[in-house]
Structure formats: structure tokens, C-alpha cells
Structure 1
């Protein structure tokens, strides 16, 4: 039976014990040395990543007003950042295989923060989009390297929880970035608001570097293109990994579309909310913090596919509720969408790390690439759907994506049943 079947995680060349979770296992575990520092460090990295990546999302109506552009054009300030990340996450994961996870994560945060200093001074929508694309490309070193670091340094039974905490940091970063920018922009404009997020990211980056324990189970790999392409080809040939990549992309399509457009909907009638209040709507992200951090227990009770069904159903219910014209219904819908998305993302991303037995950084990078392609697609298509069909158009796009998640998970369930029937019955 392979490590993927048993739930164990291995990395070629890593100094890992033959028996995972044994008393001699030198990897980190809850309550053990370094685990709390590691968890806080990666939590802060997640905060900085999402705060920077989506720093303009809650400000799109103001950006549209200043530059005189429609929602579809303004949404490119989000789509360019996530698209840059999607394009560069695989090359950055290759660098992390050669130079180390912690080194690449530190460099990525440093460059992204430096670009963040320039973003508030963008003279045009075109310049702003270019800077955001560069910032997204810089941040590409974080997601895949972080999950690979966790897979190498954390015991397998604690892996889902550890990755869930990193994803929870993403949710806090996304929430704080949008809430802070909403209130700051209401008083001093979107440029000052983006600058404040840059300062927050600087603090998180410094704390991350000081707190993150040095890796103990990392062995440098090769940067040869043939080796990298071979690893990528092997991952893409794995049906389970392909399904997980598609699920991550589809979940993020829903999330990217909803949160790109929600600011426009809430500032328009019948709601007419001011910018600060619209920014506070993103406090709903706290629900994602909880659902992501409890994903491990959810998988323990329902199994991976059961957890994905629940996450998809919760997201769909939230989309349908958000169609109502009452603010309470919209808020409840956002709560369910957020809870379902973050739970589904945590389950799928941790399953990638457990499934890949070699080239784990590349496996995670492919997931992150698909995930952020979904974000870019959701931001752009969701905005276009809103322009042509209102909020119902955006919800329609989201429901189609959720239907895709359910369909892919059903395919996985059927494949698992077929494989179980083919297993030989042990002789007695």
C-alpha cells in the first residue's frame, strides 16, 4: 500500500522515520517543540498574502469612480494579482525545491511588500493593474512553499489541522484587508487605504521571518527543467490530483466572483451602504477562519468526499439566500458561502499534500495555480455577469461552479467504489 493510501506523507530525500507519528518521529506535532511558533508564523504569512492579494477588492467602486471605468475593468486590479500568482506559483515552487521553503517564502513577502509601497501612487488604471500583477507574481512563492513546508515538517495526523490554520490566516488577512480599507478609504480615499495594508504586511513579514523554525527535513532538489516537467507530468497523470485541482479552481471561482461584485451590489439600491459599512461586511471572513481550522475534524467524521459534499451544499445554499432583497438574507448568504468555501479549500489543499508522495511542492503549486486561475476567472466573469444580469447573473455563475464541484466529487466517489471492488479478497 502506498503512502497516499495510508495517509502518510513522504518527500524524496527527506529524513523522515519509517513509521509516521511514532514516538521517534522528529517532525512537529501539536504541543511539541516549535509547533506553536510555526503555526503563528504561517498564520501571519497567510494574513499578509491575502491582505495584499485582495487589497483592492473592497475598493473597486472607488477605483471605478476615480479612473472612470466600469466594474469589469476595475476588477482587473484583482484578477491581475491572482493571475500573476497563478502563472508564477509553479516556477517559484521549483525555486523552493532548490533553495528551501523558508528562503523563498521570505523573499516573496519582501518583494510583494516593496511593490505594495508603490501601489498607492499608481497614476492610471493601467499602471495599477501592472503593479498588482507584479505583486501577485511575487506572492507566488508563499502558498505552495508553505504547504510543502508543512507536509515535510509536521506529522501526518496533524497536517490537515496545520494547513487549516494557514488557510485560516488567509481568511483573517482577506477580512482585515477589506475591513480596514473600507473604513480608511471612507475618510482618506483608496490610496491611503492600500498604503495601510502595505504597512500591515510589513509587520506580518518581519514577524513571520523571526518566528518560523528552520526546516529540519528539507533536502535540496534539482532545478533541471526536464526533472521539473517530469514531476508535473506525473502529478497531472494522477486522477485524484486532477480532481482536487479542478475542485480548488471551482470553489475559488465562486468566491472570487461573489466578493469582487458584492461591494457594487451593497453600495447600490436597495441597500445604498457607505464604503466603511461595506468594508465591515467582510468580517464574515471570521466564519471562514473557523471552518478552515476545523476542516480536519470534518474530514475525520465525514471523510474527504463527505466534507466536500457538505462544503459544496453549504456554498450553494448561501448563493441562493443572497438573492433576497433583505440585507439580513444577503449577510446570511455570505456567511454560508464563506464557510463552505474555506472548508472546501482546506480539505482539497490538504488532500493534495497527503496524496503527492514526491515533488510535493510542485503538487501544491499546481493546486495553487488552478485555485488562483479560478479566482481570476471568478473576478472577471462574475463582474461581467453582474454588468449584464445583475446579482442574479453572478449567483448563476457561482451555482454552475458548485455544480462542477459536486459532479467531480461524485466521479471520485464512483472511482473509489470501483477500485474497492477490484481489490483482491485476502486469503484466510
Structure 2
């Protein structure tokens, strides 16, 4: 694979309507589907997987947490590699490895091997979210970067949704291996399209000095910024509670008094469509009403959604899940944009750190809150509320526009 060349002197990026612009948008949309579809392929079928492998709820959730943990610890490494060889080659290497690992996962002989493969998948998958937005900023004309980034993010949302809802019906027919295989094939097709379409970079400039030094300086500068720490902490707490809700709600819906089959219970992830809308709406509201106010409002909305899931009423639970999802993605959309706007140096590292905390919180709390579920949904919901309230308090006193 060739290394990206230095850009032409007057390179300003692909303009809307050009062949390069269309290839980048379709390619990164497909990359978002392939990456996030693969990462969350087990989340919708955790009860089925747990029963087949004879593990408890928290252990089954490790199949999600190990993937997100691998992603969280790899983003800085992919950022370092991209500084040496360019964003496009690094993303294509990441997707190639993830394609192979995704197809191996359904044939894992046991639970331990499955966790190892899921960890390796996460390490590979980290190359896309760590680099995609930076690649867009270098390759798309500045007038269209926001639109292009929104299209990429919508691909990640669609991928996360498809990865979850596709596996359920297939798992109902042939067990968890069939479900994960279906998700893996879907992701593999998307990854092949992405690798084929994403063009050679023309806007990448090799950083001066040692890449290791530039990465370290960017990381330290952002970790020394108290405002950045607020945003990173909020990402960890809210994402942790959000993922835990989805991890264990399937167990509740498949048990009494609901007794839903996995083909139906896995469809709860269609609530993600509320997040697709709220993330963009919250971004526009933040521009006019201030980031802090909108972010805090979104966290309150998330808390209301959690409270609505407490009664044993299916309509209330599903409505609460939609409201929870809407609030979470609104807060996430504001916070992630705030990180990029706040970073004065090391923008790539600022974004990588946000991903590290975001997926690190998902890994830790997505697994740990399974032990709160031992006492039932009330225990799980209480733990999620505690994380959301901690985030609300943290942001209320420390966040500033």
C-alpha cells in the first residue's frame, strides 16, 4: 500500500459535486456502517449468547465492553500511525484487519477466545473514528466539511443500528453464531466498499519533528485543560450509563412479565433514530443558545427517559428509551463538537482523548453495571441515574461556553 504523497501547493479540498467528494462521502459512510455495525454486533443478542455460553449478564456484556475497550486504547496509536503514513492508508489498514477479525468471531470455540477476538476487533476498529474527521478536514473544501462530517456520523449511527437489529432475527433462527455471522458479513461488505472508494489523500502534510513528540505534546496540552477534563468526564459517565441501559434491557424484555423473543427485543435499537435527529438539532441549538445550556438540558432529558423505564409497562419503557437516547446523543453531539472547538493545540489528540474516555466509560460501566442488574431493573436504572446526575453536577459547576 503506498504512502500518501504531500499535497499540491494550493490544495483546498474536494468541492461539492466532484468525483472525489462523492467517493469520500460514500466511502466514509460505508466505513461508519462497517465499523460500528461490527463493534456492536453482539449487543442485541446478549441473552442468547449468555445462555449458549453459560455466562451471566455482566460476563456476556464483556463481549461489547472488550471491543469498546480495544477501540478506546487504540485511538492514540492510530493517530500516531496516521502522522507517519497518512490518514487514508491508516484507515484502510484498520478496516482490513477488522474485516478478517469480524469473520473469525462467529467461529470462536469458546467464551475466552471470543473475548480475545472482540478485543482485537476493537483495536482494529479504532482506526476509523480516530482518523475519519481529521481526514475529512484535510480532503474536503472547508465550506463542506460540516456537511461531510454529518454524513459520516450518520453512517456510524446507521451502522450501529444495523449491527444490532440484523443479528437478532438471525440469532433467533440459528443461535448467536448465526446472528454474529450475519452482522459480520454486512460489515465486511461495507468495509470493502469503503476501502475501494476512499481516494488517495491530497491534503495530508507529514508533521515536522518526531510524530511521537507531537502526539505527546497534544495529549498533555489537552489533559492540562480543566474544561477538556469536564468534557472527557461527561463522555465517560453518560456513555457508560447509556450503553449499560441497552446491554441489559434485552434481559428484562425477554424475561417476565414481557417474554419477548430475541428477534423482537433486539429491535429496541431503532430508538437510535431519535439520536440521529437530536445530535444535529442540539448542535444547531448550541450555536444560538450556548453549548453549556443545551448540554445540561440534554442530560436532564436523558434522566427523564431513565425514570420512564422503571414501571413494568412496555409502552412506557420504549418511550423512555427513545427519550433517553434522544437526550444522550444530543449531549454527545454538543460535547464532541465542543472538544474540537476548544482545542488550541493537538486537535487530533483532543478528539482521540474524547474517544478514549467515551469508549472507556462504555467498557467499564457497560460491564460493571451488570452487577447492579442482579437486584433487577431498579438497581440498574438507579446506577444509570447516579452516573447521569454526577455528569450533570460536574458539568453544571465546571463547564463554561
How does the TM-score come out when normalised to structure 1?
Answer: 0.86
Is the Cα–Cα contact under 8 Å of residues 171 and 178 in structure 2 kept in the other structure?
yes
Residue 223 of structure 1: how far off its partner (Å):
4.9
Deviations 1:41-72 (A, max 9, x none): 22222221211111111111111111111111
TM-aligned CA deviation for residue 191 of structure 1: 0.5
2:352 pairs, out of 357, 365, 383, with 365
1:375-419 deviations in whole A, cap 9, x for unaligned? 1122112211112x2111221222122223322332345x55xxx
User: What corresponds to 1:79 in structure 2?
Assistant: 65
Aligned residue in 2 for 1:289: 276
> Residue 149 in 1 paired to residue 135 in 2?
yes
1: CA distance, partners of 2:83 / 2:36? 23
Distance of 1:294 and 1:211 partners within structure 2: 30
Equivalent residues in 2 for 1:229-308, closer than 5 Å: 229-308=216-295
Match in the other structure for 1:122:
108
SS in 1 for 2:306: helix
Q: Is contact 1:161-1:293 (8 Å) kept?
A: no
Aligned-residue RMSD, C-alpha: 2.4
Instruction: Tell me the SS of whatever aligns to 1:142.
Output: coil
Counterpart check, 1:405 vs 2:391: yes
Aligned partners of 2:309 and 2:318 also within 8 Å: yes
SS at match of 1:215: coil
Q: Secondary structure at the match of 1:219?
A: coil
- Aligned counterparts, 1:26-425, within 5 A: 26-27=12-13, 34-154=20-140, 159-221=145-207, 223-387=210-374, 389-413=375-399, 415=400
In the alignment, the residues of structure 1 paired with residue 16 and residue 275 of structure 2 have an alpha-carbon distance, to the nearest angstrom, of: 22
| Structure 1 unaligned regions, length at least 5 | 1-12, 18-24, 417-428
Sort the Cα spacing of 1:362 and 1:340 in 2 relative to 1 into closer, same or farther, 3 A: same
Q: Kindly tell me: are residues 253 and 350 of structure 1, through their superposed partners in 2, closer, same or farther at Cα, counting changes over 3 Å?
A: same
User: Is the Cα–Cα contact under 8 Å of residues 164 and 295 in structure 1 kept in the other structure?
Assistant: no
1:6-17 matches, cutoff 5 A: none
Say if 1:168 and 1:288, in contact at 8 Å, map to a contact too.
no
Alignment CA distance shift 1:50-1:89 (3 Å): same
For 1:400 and 1:32, locate their aligned partners in 2 and report how far apart those are by CA, in whole Å: 49
Instruction: Quote how far apart the aligned CAs of 1:32 are.
Output: 7.1
Provide the secondary structure at the position in 2 that maps to 1:55.
coil
Seen in structure 2, the aligned counterparts of structure 1 residues 38 and 65 have a Cα distance that, compared at 3 Å, is: same
Q: CA deviation at 1:338?
A: 1.2
Give the total of aligned pairs.
Answer: 395
Distance in 2, matches of 1:296 and 1:126, equals 41
Residue 353 of structure 1 deviates from its aligned partner by: 2.2
Equivalent residues of 1:47, 1:171 under 8 A apart: yes
1:119 shift after superposition: 0.6
Native 8 Å contact 1:318 1:334 kept in 2: yes
Segments of structure 2 that go 5 or more residues without pairing to the other structure are 1-5
Secondary structure at the aligned position of 1:248 is classed as helix
